[in-house]
Amino acid sequence: MMVVSHDTAAGTRPTAGGASGAGAVPQALARVMSFIDPRLERALQLSDDAAPRLLEAMRYSLLAPGKRLRPALVLWAAEACMPASAAEATPIQAWDTAAGAAVAVEMIHAYSLVHDDLPAMDDDDLRRGRPTCHRAFDEATAILCGDALQALAFETLVGSLPAPVAARGLRVLAQASGPEALVGGQSDDLAAERGWLDRSGPEGREEQVAWMERIHRRKTGALFRAALTLGGLAAGANDRQLAALDGYGRAFGLAFQIADDLLDAEGNEATTGKRVGKDAERGKLTYPTVLGLSESRRRAVALAAEAESMLSELPASADDLRHLASWIVTRDH
């Protein structure tokens, strides 16, 4: 039973007792959501100069009920990197320090989902259990909504950290969102799907796995790693701590993606809140199509264990991160 003591407006970190290990993750994510959602709302309290329809679309997309994985990674990384005594005494301090970074990363994620769902890209009608942004509004508004969320992410991040940390953080978030990461991975993914490649596609199992990893490392993994790094930077992490978080993020990102492919192959619309079975329909390379279901599951579990092992030198305050790695490969949404 969760013992909730939260005052999200004042910024208190809710606490809980109850389930342990991966079983505790849904409650831990619920605590992240109750901490971060009021801050997402506040970040969208803009002046009258923000066009009303645009602002409505931004609210619709950013506040939709996602898992808030990326804010969780930011906040839990910050907590893991606080000096042990301080983290135990005042975990809330770590969350408060990193809150702006957590909001910024969720904005980038929400923008990428809005744009990915557009007819010119993945052409989806359902996202987070609701009509996609361009369905609920219109295509032009959805494009502008993504553009605006992206710009606001950087404004939010820079205003939330002391200058030298902010400069480093901005570079981290910009790289993870840019042509060598999120956008580049998306572009190559589309190129493969639409036959725009100037070479034949990957052949043979190993080449296909390497191909998928190169796409997902950029399209999905880079933002997870940026989230962890930003949380660490906000908490004043040292290089060893940052390296541990990054090693965790690499393995976690791939484990997440394999699990996502498995959900597309085996999950259902009611629990995932999005259309499933699309990858197979489009003949897309996925872990289950290349490796089969059981080998994909085996790799996901091994990667989750690898992610957890990367945190061996971090204190007990990294436990939420540890548990998240095993939960990510067993989730149903």
Can you tell me which of 63, 86, 183, 293 binds ligand GRG, judged by CB under 6 A? 183
Cα torsion 110, 181, 259, 209 to 10°: value is 150
Return the number of the residue (8 or 187) whose C-beta is nearest ligand GRG: 187
The answer to whether residues 151 and 157 touch, using CB atoms and an 8 Å cutoff, is: no
**Which residues have a Cβ under 8 Å from the Cβ of 86 and sit 6 or more positions away?**
93, 94
Residues contacting ligand GRG: total by CB under 6 A: 16
**Is residue 67 at the binding interface for ligand GRG, with CB under 6 A as the rule?**
yes
**Is residue 69 at the binding interface for ligand GRG, with CB under 6 A as the rule?**
yes
**Is residue 22 at the binding interface for ligand GRG, with CB under 6 A as the rule?**
no
Read off the amino acid at residue 240.
R
Nearest approach, Cβ of residue 38 and ligand GRG (Å): 17
Tell me the H-state helices in 13-121.
Answer: 25-43, 52-62, 69-81, 84-89, 91-116
Residue 86 main-chain phi, psi, to 5 deg: -65, -40
Residues 209-268 contacting ligand GRG, CB under 6 A: 219-220, 260
Nearest approach, Cβ of residue 133 and ligand GRG (Å): 12
Longest dimension (CA), the chain: 57
User: Which of 145, 148, 140 is CA-nearest to residue 114?
Assistant: 145
Interface stretch with ligand GRG, choices 61-69, 136-144, 235-243, 311-319 (CB under 6 A): 61-69
Interface stretch with ligand GRG, choices 11-19, 62-70, 92-100, 281-289 (CB under 6 A): 62-70
Q: 3-state SS of the chain: helix, strand, coil percent to 5? A: 70, 0, 30
Interface stretch with ligand GRG, choices 114-122, 198-206, 224-232, 313-321 (CB under 6 A): 114-122
**Is residue 192 at the binding interface for ligand GRG, with CB under 6 A as the rule?**
no
Positions touching ligand GRG (CB under 6 A) are 66-67, 69, 109, 112-113, 115-116, 121, 128, 182-183, 186, 219-220, 260
